């Protein structure tokens, strides 16, 4: 019943799909950086091309891992698992190739070999091997640990977010109070003092790191199509919405200081 970590979105207009990729690819969401790209038609040649690699030197970077494996084919995604507290590599990684045959060649070429800088041979095998329970347990521990729900400081490219000293426990104590902003699909947040050039991608980048975002909307002037200075963000979970408000209210974006709060019943025209 748990998410496998990927999904699909179908757009009517190809331009909208392209905009979604440009806006959201590489966005930091809690403990993960998401990849957004065009889906490929399913076929036997591209299935089961994900490799599990262990015994990597702790100093090896993701770029070096890709360089090691790229000789065998086109790499779709790569990842090195790191300790969430220390940031040190766990010596474990994943490589997904474009095609199954490329993954097979990588296993033949690298399994049991010592890459440059390694003192021990590395193990390379298919990630979907039924015996691979240890990696699944490791992933589950990494991504679902309640203690690492809000790692910080979060960042997206050049932008940095620092958390408010208000603790999550302190915020959850507000549950049950008659707080405005709740809608049928989540909690609506009002964001004020955006620049005229702001678009939806700004709101995705600001609020995405705090949790599940359902929808964002920048309010534009009908004549100029420029942002009128405010917008709305709908987040699924109250705790995450409250944390986003506590962290982003008063946040300086460019030369402006944002005002962020739960949306009141007052209509903004």
pLDDT, tens digit (0-9, with 9 covering 90-100), for 12-47: 999 999 999 988 888 877 667 888 988 877 788 888
Q: What's residue 110's pLDDT?
A: 95
Residue 267 has pLDDT above 80, yes or no: no
For the ranges 36-40, 98-102, 113-117, the maximum mean pLDDT occurs at 98-102
Q: Could you tell me the pLDDT band of residue 131, with boundaries at 50, 70 and 90?
A: very low
Residue of 163, 242, 228, 233 lying closest to 205 (CA atoms): 233
Predicted confidence (pLDDT) at residue 189 exceeds the cutoff of 60: yes
Confidence of residue 181 (pLDDT cuts 50, 70, 90): low
What average pLDDT does range 195-200 have in this prediction?
90
Checking if the pLDDT of 9 tops 80, the result is yes
Give residue 89's pLDDT.
86
Supply φ then ψ for residue 176, to 5 degrees.
Answer: 100, -20
Segment 125-131 mean pLDDT: 64
Dihedral angle, C-alpha 104, 41, 67, 28, nearest 10 °: -130
Q: How confident is the model at residue 130 (pLDDT cuts 50, 70, 90)?
A: very low
Task: Please give the domain boundaries of the chain with CATH numbers for all domains.
Answer: 41-129 (3.30.70.330), 187-262 (3.30.70.330)
pLDDT tops 50 at residue 174: no
Of 7-16, 120-129, 146-155, 184-193, which range is least confident? 146-155
**What is the average pLDDT value for the chain, to the nearest integer?**
78
Q: For residue range 135-158, list pLDDT tens digits in order.
A: 445 445 444 444 444 443 333 333
115 has pLDDT over 90: no
């Amino acid at each position: 019943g748990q998410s496998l970590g990927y999904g699909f979105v179908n757009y009517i207009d190809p331009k909208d799909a392209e905009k979604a990729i440009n806006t959201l690819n590489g966005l930091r969401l809690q403990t993960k950086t998401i990849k957004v790209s065009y889906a490929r038609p399913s076929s036997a040649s591209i299935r089961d091309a994900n490799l599990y690699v262990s015994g990597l030197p702790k100093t090896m970077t993701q770029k070096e891992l890709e360089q090691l494996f790229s000789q065998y084919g086109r790499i779709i995604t790569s990842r090195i698992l790191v300790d969430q507290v220390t940031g040190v590599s766990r010596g474990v990684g994943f490589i997904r190739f474009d095609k199954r045959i490329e993954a097979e060649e990588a296993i033949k070429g690298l399994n049991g070999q010592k890459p440059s800088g390694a003192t021990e041979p590395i193990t390379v095998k298919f990630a979907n091997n039924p015996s691979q329970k240890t990696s699944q347990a490791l992933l589950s521990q990494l991504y679902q640990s309640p203690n690492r729900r809000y790692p910080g400081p979060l960042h997206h490219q050049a932008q940095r977010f620092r958390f408010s000293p208000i603790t999550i426990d302190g915020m959850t104590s507000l549950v049950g109070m008659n707080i405005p902003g709740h809608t049928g699909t989540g909690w609506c947040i009002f964001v004020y003092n955006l620049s005229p050039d702001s678009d939806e991608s700004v709101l995705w980048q600001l609020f995405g790191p705090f949790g599940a975002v359902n929808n964002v909307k920048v309010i534009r002037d009908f004549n100029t199509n420029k942002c009128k200075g405010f917008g709305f963000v709908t987040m699924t979970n109250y705790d995450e919405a409250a944390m986003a408000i506590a962290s982003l209210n008063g946040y300086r974006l460019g030369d402006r200081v944002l005002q962020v709060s739960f949306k009141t019943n007052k209509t903004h025209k």
